[in-house]
Amino acid sequence: MSFSSRGVKQVLLSVEQSEGVGAKVRRSIGRQELRNFDPFLMLDEFRAGRPAGFPDHPHRGFETVTYILPTSKGSFEHEDFCGHRGTIGPGDLQWMTAGRGILHSEMPLSDEISHGLQLWINLSAKDKMCPPEYQELRSEDVPKITKDGVTAIIIAGESLGTVSKIYTRTPTNYIHFIMEPNSRIEQRVPSEWAAFAYTVEGKVKFSAGNFIDAHSTVTFNPGGDGIIAETGDEPGNFVLISGKPIGEPVVQHGPFVMSTQKEIIEAINDYSQAKNGFENAQTWESEIAKKLNQG
Ligand code: FJE
Ligand code: FE
């Protein structure tokens, strides 16, 4: 039986912009033309080395997925207002459910540039105020499989018969495909899910279209069995991200993403008054911010 591939809907190249403090990002989902890609809110390809980074900031109502690319030279350090701390190195994965509230800092550990991807996945209204949770995997514990010149790193969901242990409150499939020249992959995607690819390096062709340059977002029409990707004479690597649309209103105010304007006002008040999940925001400051503020 033949595999029917989804058609390409849009191809958009991302240019670098400044974000956080001195960090550089190429924004995929979340930019003007790619708003409302339900259930996804943002995908940034980031580069940052000390002293740049993303110092103390809050989140509510969604999940952040930080994946440092296996080829990255630098690592990230993460620290939150409940005492959760750690490093995210090359190939490592941090799946953070902010739920009702997280206040944290995300900063490079070294002067060497850290290069990674951060995806924001919306939560359904029933999950938005859940307790915060982390799912963290070291590079060696992220499932990988190689077949016919294609390595699939399975961040969430399944590829080539290999399954991730990550629990997704919003059903999501997130695979990093690293392809040798002249290789091909068929990846199944539920026909009603939102799906896009983001090219990290090299040149990749989707659904028998044209070769797409690095740093491009390719969105797909719904339907079909999934996505076919191919390389030519150059290697290529990309992430393929798909998820079940939530189908609820999205009201976003920076790092707070809720379903109504009223809930956004509550989030702003809860954060500024340190209540309803933001209790520790009253006194907390990251170690890095403390050092900087001492001068
Ligand atoms: C944020 C501005 C920001 N992309 N990629 C406003 F920069 C951020 C933010 C990030 C971020 C962090 C990492 Cl580690 C990687 C990122 C934006 O932290 F949350 C808001 N609201
Ligand atoms: Fe953050």
21, 56 contact by CB (below 8 A): no
CA 224 – ligand 1 centroid, Å: 34
CA 58 – ligand 2 centroid, Å: 7
pTM above 0.85, yes or no: yes
Which ligand sits closest to the CA of 68? 1
What does the pLDDT look like over 215-254, one tens digit per residue?
999 999 999 999 999 999 999 999 999 999 999 999 999 9
Nearest-atom number in ligand 1 for the CA of 76 is: 14
| Residues contacting residue 34 through CB under 8 Å, at least 6 positions apart | 10, 12, 28, 217, 219
30, 237 contact by CB (below 8 A): no
What does the pLDDT look like over 123-153, one tens digit per residue?
999 999 999 999 999 999 999 999 999 999 9
CA 279 – ligand 2 centroid, Å: 18
CATH of span 14-243: 2.60.120.10
Counting ligand 1 atoms within 8 A of each CB, the residue from 14, 31, 44 with the most, and so the one to mutate, is 44
Instruction: Please identify every stretch of the chain with a pLDDT value under 50, giving residue numbers as ranges.
Output: none
Give, using CA atoms, the residue closest to atom 14 of ligand 1: 106
Give the pLDDT confidence score for residue 292 in this predicted structure.
Answer: 79
Could you state, in order of their start, the residue ranges of all structural domains in the chain? 14-243
CA 56 – ligand 2 centroid, Å: 8
Residue 140 marked as a ligand binder? no
Return the closest-CA partner of residue 135 out of 165, 109, 163: 165
